[in-house]
Structures are given as structure tokens and as C-alpha cells.
């Protein structure tokens, strides 16, 4: 499957950050990009569309990225979707929680396009 055919779901409560990441992803050759402002909206998309990769912020209202990851990993249908968590708060406790739920990669804010691309390549290739 080529990058252009992959379906990516960006989850972040800040529209500006979603837009920046969307531009970065398009620069890497990804064009099927879905967006959600929180975990609950992301779950609706996940149940309606085949998604190949979730990139989610940790801290969001309504449903956090951690809660979204927990829901995905507990679902027989969604559990194998690669998940990259983005956070500005990389405490040992948070990293441990994410690892226990089998997060595929963790990205610390702020990050470069090169870091994002490297993390994506690790989980989808």
C-alpha cells in the first residue's frame, strides 16, 4: 500500500495544530487525512472508516488520547491500528501508562517533520 492510499486519523482539540500536522503529512505523501477534535469524535470515524494510523494528542476535552487508546486497544475490530501519541508532558507515569496500553510510538511536543516522519515509518512499514 502506498502512502497516498493510507488513511490517517489526526486527533487534536486544537484546529491549528491539526492543520500544521496535516500539511506535514501531505508533504510526506499522505493525502487521506481525517480529523477529529477529541477521542469521542475519533471513535465515530474509526467505526465508520478503515483507518491505517491514528496520531493523537494526549490532553483533550471530552475524551483524551489516553482514553482513546484504551478504547482502541480493547476493541477486537480496532485493536491492531497503529497509534502514535503526541504529548508535551512526558512524565514517567504517562509514558508507562501509554506503554501498558501498547502505544506504538510517542512524540514529544514540539517536534519536527523529520521526527514525525521517522515515527510514522516505524509503525507502518
Beta carbons within 10 angstroms of residue 61's beta carbon: 10
- Give the integer Cα–Cα distance in Å for 32 and 7: 5
Instruction: Give per-residue pLDDT as tens, 18-38.
Output: 999 999 999 999 999 999 999
pLDDT at residue 3 tops 90: no
The phi, psi pair for 85, rounded to 5°, reads: -100, 135
Query: pTM for this one?
Result: 0.94
Q: Give Cβ neighbours of residue 78 (< 8 Å, ≥ 6 apart).
A: 46, 47, 71, 72
Nearest to 59 by CA among 69, 49, 74, 72: 69
Domains and CATH numbers, the chain: 3-124 (3.40.50.2300)
Instruction: Give per-residue pLDDT as tens, 96-118.
Output: 888 898 999 999 988 999 999 99
The phi, psi pair for 10, rounded to 5°, reads: -95, 130
pLDDT for the residue numbered 1: 61
Q: How confident is the model at residue 93 (pLDDT cuts 50, 70, 90)?
A: confident
Amino acid at each position: 500500500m502506498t502512502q497516498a492510499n493510507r488513511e490517517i486519523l489526526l486527533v487534536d482539540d486544537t484546529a491549528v495544530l491539526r492543520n500544521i500536522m496535516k500539511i506535514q503529512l501531505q508533504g510526506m505523501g499522505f493525502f487521506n487525512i481525517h480529523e477529529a477534535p477529541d477521542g469521542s469524535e475519533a471513535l465515530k470515524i474509526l467505526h465508520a472508516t478503515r483507518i491505517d494510523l491514528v496520531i493523537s494528542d494526549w490532553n483533550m476535552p471530552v475524551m483524551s488520547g489516553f482514553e482513546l487508546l484504551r478504547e482502541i486497544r480493547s476493541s477486537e475490530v480496532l485493536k491492531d491500528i497503529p497509534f502514535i501519541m503526541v504529548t508535551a508532558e512526558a512524565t514517567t507515569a504517562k509514558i508507562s501508562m501509554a506503554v501498558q496500553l501498547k502505544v506504538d510510538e510517542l512524540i514529544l511536543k514540539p517536534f519536527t517533520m523529520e521526527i514525525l516522519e521517522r515515527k510514522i515509518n516505524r509503525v507502518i512499514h
